[in-house]
Structure 1
């Protein structure tokens, strides 16, 4: 007997070609998700490594594995809600491997039109045979077949809408935080935006190529890109298959992958040729290399980071992009005096501070399912870095503080505390330094809050400060 969803009631169809071999994209996704959950790694790095080991030559297989990994991480709460109605015991009593297989199967059934239901069920059963305890494959088969029948009965949209009620794809601590800081309506907008697949945004390297010429070069390699309004070096990839990092344009340093909000921070800093500029928390070097390009390799550019491996990564990126660094130092940014840097010697200093990363959760959705960050410790670190940086800014110089998070404790509170303790600095209205088309990203206080356009940007905060020369 076969249901209307195409699933054979007794199990996998006889002679089915859908088998979970080690290089099958769904098996790859399972391995990545289990590694992320058990070892605490970042999904992008674990996925890159697993795809290399799998040797998936078909770009469609690589794309499917990527879609499943990030889809399951983004929609895990909704998937668990949909699954639990078809399991006789609480999900927390299921073996972790079984629950992961069920999530992978349910994601395909509920969110991927291009994967037939019978394929999603059959391969999930095969993965359970391979990776879970004996006898659990039958449970996987029964649960996913039951989910397929429910989808056929009520429709996919209604099923997903019911399962997603109450924002189950976000932890309670984050919902409480944003509803308190932003209000319920704005918080819902941000949650909705974080469920979307992020766009691929590139930064053109003007040291090597003009933006129009890069668009043509990318088209020859199969990628269609278009300019991002208000950002002179940004391109949004709107069409193309494969990994943009494998293109000749990328390897030759004509461009780098950098989100639009991240690029906006350096535009706010406004470095110019011939100036002395410091990037205090610089790794992996995206903003450092952007600063160097804006300076046209003229002037003094120093980058600091605490970890030697990250500084090496920064140097490699700058070398590929053709950016000349005056110095890339392994140092604690909260203690710049140990590096020999002179007080009040820099025209511009950027503090792109370590933060909770809540603004980039659509790129790092695995962080939603981990314990909440220690916001108090982060705030202490951020305040220390900003105070240390202040001592390095010359009179009339510019200091920019930025994070990739949405949290008053790490953003506005840090800024307000700094201004109270440093009367020699004043906050400048960011709208005076950005194109008019981006003016709506600036708050009433004059700070950049890119979550004011939640569907277009990752969520960054930035404030521009100027040393006025008053005594502190």
Structure 2
């Protein structure tokens, strides 16, 4: 039973997200650390694409399977297979089908083998047209966005604009990253031009570009191998531009203090703490579970921010701080990065 490392890794990550409410931002770097570049890229695409299109994929599964109750492993294998068949033109349908069936066998769901094979073969011949009761419901399913959010955008911007926002939100973008405190300590903070950053990190000029919308945010169009090495050394941190934008909104006075709740894995607090004016400030980052706190602490240390105080606490209960202890409190719950 042969399955590509990319698909095995993607299946295992999606199974943990489904069963344990785990985070792709944490699992993907861990699972893909030893994969080849090709397998790493495919694994990322399979995981993020399947999550991005999950509502639509589930609707297609229901169209084929009806009311049949599916084990989570079977549903995960079907999502992966359908995503490849429908959205990845470069992947042969037979490869997506065979390996999805093998993933079911690997999960010891042998009785579902024929079922998965039949659905994916039908899908490869043509995906059925889905029917909807209302336009908002159609946008929700076709773009995999929750109804409450689509309804708000429809109320704010109109149906056509809301549909365009949802569609654009599903388009893949080049990876976003930023420089870390460790980078600034190693290479200096002044004149962090694109040319200097490329020279410092061994990148080709033109392989990265500034966001243009989010301060100190960069996109990697090429040179991802070199950037991964820089990330391993703690010089850069891959972080979604939207997440960086939230961090940029937090303004702390010189020598001030910040409390970040629901902070793990630590992308926002480490971006805030890396600012020059925060060198004499107090940053406290907290989260609920032991695993998330350990990951938060490791992330701070990796970026050269041992000064960030990391705590484990339940923010739904009374906090162990007196009123007015902090100049700013950041709560982005649940925090994806």
Provide Cα deviations, 1:116-171, integer angstroms capped at 9, x if missing partner: 122222222333343354443233333322222227xxxxxxx7898994431234
Q: Is the 8 A contact 1:84 1:90 kept in 2?
A: yes
Question: Which residue matches 1:20?
Answer: 2
Cα pair distance change 1:173/1:243, threshold 3 Å: farther
Question: Which residue matches 1:275?
Answer: 255
* In 1: Cα distance, 2:246 partner to 2:89 partner: 38
Question: Which residue matches 1:62?
Answer: 40
**TM-score by structure 2 length?**
0.74
Aligned residue-pair number: 320
Offset of 1:115 from its aligned partner?
A: 0.9
* In 1: Cα distance, 2:248 partner to 2:122 partner: 53
Question: Which residue matches 2:219?
Answer: 236
The two structures, once aligned, show a CA RMSD in angstroms of 3.9
Question: Which residue matches 2:162?
Answer: 187
Alignment counterpart, residue 225 of structure 1, candidates 205, 208, 211: 208
Alignment counterpart, residue 167 of structure 1, candidates 133, 140, 149: 140
* In 2: Cα distance, 1:264 partner to 1:144 partner: 40
Provide Cα deviations, 1:178-205, integer angstroms capped at 9, x if missing partner: 5456654453344223323354222224
Question: Which residue matches 1:449?
Answer: none
Task: Work out whether 1:138 is the aligned partner of 2:114.
Answer: yes
Provide Cα deviations, 1:397-448, integer angstroms capped at 9, x if missing partner: xxxxxxxxxxxxxxxxxxxxxxxxxxxxxxxxxxxxxxxxxxxxxxxxxxxx
Provide Cα deviations, 1:346-369, integer angstroms capped at 9, x if missing partner: 6xx232214356xx7xx9xxxxxx
Cα pair distance change 1:268/1:98, threshold 3 Å: closer
* In 2: Cα distance, 1:109 partner to 1:145 partner: 10
* In 1: Cα distance, 2:147 partner to 2:308 partner: 46
* In 2: Cα distance, 1:227 partner to 1:62 partner: 25
* In 1: Cα distance, 2:226 partner to 2:163 partner: 32
Q: Is the 8 A contact 2:285 2:308 kept in 1?
A: no
Task: Work out whether 1:45 is the aligned partner of 2:20.
Answer: no
**TM-score by structure 1 length?**
0.56
Provide Cα deviations, 1:36-66, integer angstroms capped at 9, x if missing partner: 22233223334444446xx53x221222222
* In 1: Cα distance, 2:15 partner to 2:296 partner: 30
Task: Work out whether 1:114 is the aligned partner of 2:70.
Answer: no
Q: Is the 8 A contact 2:252 2:258 kept in 1?
A: no
Task: Work out whether 1:123 is the aligned partner of 2:104.
Answer: no
Alignment counterpart, residue 97 of structure 1, candidates 58, 73, 89: 73
**What secondary structure does 1:167 align onto?**
helix
In the TM superposition, what are the counterparts of 1:237-316 in structure 2 within 5 Å? 237-242=220-225, 244=227, 246-247=228-229, 249-271=230-252, 274-281=254-261, 283-284=263-264, 285-296=266-277, 298-307=279-288, 309=290, 313-316=295-298
Considering only CA atoms, is the larger Rg found in Structure 1 or Structure 2? 1
Q: More helix per residue: 1 or 2?
A: 2
Cα pair distance change 1:302/1:112, threshold 3 Å: closer
Cα pair distance change 1:271/1:116, threshold 3 Å: same
Give structure 1 stretches of 5+ with no counterpart: 1-18, 152-158, 364-472
**What secondary structure does 2:126 align onto?**
helix
Cα pair distance change 1:323/1:184, threshold 3 Å: same
**What secondary structure does 2:140 align onto?**
coil
* In 2: Cα distance, 1:137 partner to 1:127 partner: 9
Q: Is the 8 A contact 1:79 1:103 kept in 2?
A: yes
Give structure 2 stretches of 5+ with no counterpart: none
Cα pair distance change 1:45/1:81, threshold 3 Å: same
Q: Is the 8 A contact 2:139 2:145 kept in 1?
A: no
Offset of 1:176 from its aligned partner?
A: 4.1
Alignment counterpart, residue 35 of structure 1, candidates 9, 12, 16: 16
